[in-house]
Structure 1
Amino acid sequence: MVNRIRSLGAKKLSYAGRVVLINYVLNTLYSYWASIFLKPKGVIRRIEAICRNYLWGSSSDYHKVPLIAWEKVTLPKDEGGLGIKRAVLWNTDTVAKLVDWIYGKADRLWIRWVNQIYIKNKDWHNYCPPTDASWAWKCICRVKDIMKLTYIDDQWPEDPKGYSIRSGYEWLRPRQTIQRWKNIVWNKWNYPKHAMISWITMNNGLKVKDKLYQIRCSPDNRYCISDVAPETQSHLFFECSYSKQILLEIEKSCGFKVAGHNSRMNLHLIKPGIVADSIREEVKRRIRTNLSKEPTQNDKIWLRKWGMAVD
């Protein structure tokens, strides 16, 4: 895992790219060993530390303070996380597949061997391993004691097709409230980089001056454009007159309303109209990439507002 992170390409990835690499490369390396036996707690902690450090600092070592807690990061996207799997739960979940094979008396050589050496026609649901059993077998039995709480008549009731790693993980993980903003952040129209920044913002993770001042990393918490208010996320995006002028420009294309706000503005900034034009061009490029070949009538009306030609 560390060798993959140290490659030149991995170091240059954005936050969004690092999430993809963690999910489809680093976790894949771990998944093979996780399906065989339970890993020591120290190994689990090290694996999660490697993924966490890489996500926030592009390195396997600790260099940057995480913007969002790892418990939040490992939630599904619709519950406010990034969908990265928790290593300890994934380990338990994959080993539980072996438990399910024993419950179902699968026609496998290993199952026949286990029944001959250890179980010996005993009730698997209430089975306890002998003291001289191997460490790996005791690990499997520990997982069985966790998963048996939901088995009914030796059957996995969470999925009509039987036990699956997906349904097992969903049963093990803690549930959180579905976030109303999930479809705004995670949709095909957003660039992955923009979606990631939006996700950090929705979880109050941006390093605004008010937060840095509280941990004594900034001499003050005043907003750099106008010093009449602290620099918070809410002020930065919605309350500052500069931000509001940009939003009012975008309003002409999107149709949402932004309440007025008065504050002093630094005249050396890029004009809001120029920033709004840049945003509109980014949106147009994304629309051209994802637009279907046959847009609906409502789509055509909306596209004309953005100044895009529609046949």
Structure 2
Amino acid sequence: MVNRIRILGAKKLSYARRIVLINSVLNTLYSYWAGIFLIPKAVIKRIEAICRNFLWDRSSDYHRVPLIAWDTVTLPKEEGGLGIKKAETWNVAIIAKLVDWIYGKADRLWIRWINQIYLKNGDWHNYKPSADAAWAWKQICKVKELMKSAYIDSQWTHDITGYTVRQGYEWLRHSQPKKDWSIAVWNKWNIAKHAIITWLYMNKGLNVREKLHRIGYCQEKTCCICEDADETVEHLFFNCNYSRQLLQCIETWCGFKIDVNMNVTGRMGVKSQAHAMIWSACCYYIWQQRNNARMNGVLIRPATLAERMVKEAKHIIRSMVGRNMQRGDRDWLNKWGCVHSIVGQQSG
């Protein structure tokens, strides 16, 4: 895993790309071994440390304090996390597939061997391994004890189609209440880098001055942009005068008031997706300008920044809107000058 991080050239990767690589590359490496035996806890901790350090600091080594706790990061996106698998729970869920095979007496040579050597046609549900049993077999029996309450009459009770690793993982982990804002943050219209900053904002993970001052890292705690109040997350989004001006410019263009809390329930239509995309872009650019003000002492005027955001929003909407869009939605977006090209293509 460490070698892969070095090969990937992580220094140039954004948060969004690092998340993809953790799920598709790093987690795949340990998943192979996780399907063979229970990985020792010390190794599991090292695996999670590598993934955590790679996410927050582009390296396999610890150099930077994580912005969000790993237990939150490994939650599903709808529960406020990033959807990265928790290594230990995933390991148990994969081994539980072997437990399910024994429950179902699958037609496999390994199952026949287990029955001949250990079970001897006994009751698997209440089976206890002997003291001289192999270590790997004891680990499988340990997983069986964790999973046995989910089986009745040797049947997986949570789905009639039978056990899957994904179902086992969901059953093992402790579910959290769903976040109303998660649908808006991970809306498919949002640019990935915008969504990550918005996710950090909603989880209060951004290193604002007030937070840095509280832990002794920064002497000043006034807002980098307006210098009129303490720089808290609540002030920056959207009580700062600069943030309010930017929001007003954007609301003038789109013609509706933006809900800065973005609590969404149910399915998102075209209007709510466009709304969420604009809200996410506002969060990203406010944070970008805050960093510019802190590092370089430079700030783009809200009106100029709004013009840049409008151009970006039009480009995104034109690329996302499909040909089967309802007429009312098309007319609504047409007021923004976003669907002229699509209408022309349909007329042609």
Q: Indicate the TM-score class for this superposition, using the shorter chain for normalisation.
A: over 0.9
**Alignment match, 2:124:** 124
| TM, length-normalised to structure 1 | 0.94
1:99 partnered with 2:99: yes
Superposition deviation, residue 79 in structure 1: 0.3
**Match in the other structure for 1:13:** 13
Q: Secondary structure at the match of 1:230?
A: coil
Residues 98-120 of structure 1: CA deviation (Å, up to 9, x unaligned): 00000000000000000000111
TM-score (norm 2): 0.84
What is residue 262 of structure 1 aligned with on the other side? none
Quote the residue 2:208 is aligned against. Answer: 208
CA separation of 1:289 and 1:154: change in aligned 2, threshold 3 A:
same
Residues 212-258 of structure 1 show CA distances to partners (whole Å, capped at 9, x for unaligned) of 00001111211122222100111112111111111011112334437
- Are 2:320 and 1:290 equivalent residues in the alignment? yes
Does residue 89 of structure 1 match 2:89?
A: yes
Q: For the residues of structure 1 that align with 2:108 and 2:205, how far apart are their CA atoms?
A: 49
Cα deviation digits, residues 151-170 of structure 1 (max 9, x gap)? 11110011110111011001
Q: Is the 8 A contact 1:244 1:258 kept in 2?
A: no
- Map Cα deviations across residues 174-233 of structure 1 (whole Å, 9 max, x no partner): 110100011110011001111111111110000100100000111121112222210011
**Structure 1: runs of 5 or more not aligned:** 260-265
Runs of 4+ residues over 3 Å off in structure 1: 8-11, 253-256, 266-269
Relative to structure 1, is the Cα distance of residues 64 and 303 closer, same or farther in structure 2, using a 3 angstrom cutoff?
same
**Residue of structure 1 equivalent to 2:27:** 27
2-side partners of 1:143 and 1:302: how far apart?
55
Contact residue 4 and residue 10 of structure 1 kept, 8 A: no
What count of residue pairs does the alignment treat as equivalent? 305
Q: Distance in 2 between matches of 1:224 and 1:90?
A: 42
Counterpart in the other structure of 1:183: 183
| Contact 2:213/2:220 (<8 A) preserved | yes
Match of 2:272 in 1: none
Offset of residue 295 of structure 1: 2.7
CA–CA distance in 2 between the matches of 1:210 and 1:10? 30
Q: Is the 8 A contact 1:280 1:306 kept in 2?
A: no
RMSD of aligned residue pairs (Cα, Å): 1.7
Matches within 5 A, 1:1-311: 1-257=1-257, 269-310=299-340, 311=343
- Counterpart contact for 1:56–1:66, Cα < 8 Å: yes
CA distance in 2, matches of 1:280, 1:212: 33
Decide which structure has greater helix share.
Answer: 2
Q: CA deviation at 1:307?
A: 2.3
Residues of 2 paired with 1:275 and 1:257: CA distance? 18
The change in CA–CA distance for 1:103 and 1:268 in structure 2 (over 3 A counts) is: closer
Q: Is residue 93–residue 165 contact of structure 1 (8 Å, CA) maintained in 2?
A: yes
- Helix, strand or coil: the match of 2:140? helix
Amino acid at match of 1:30: Y
Cα distance in structure 2, aligned partners of 1:42 and 1:258: 47
Task: Give ranges in structure 2 of 5+ residues lacking alignment.
Answer: 260-292, 344-348
For 1:39 and 1:207, the matched residues in 2 are separated by 35
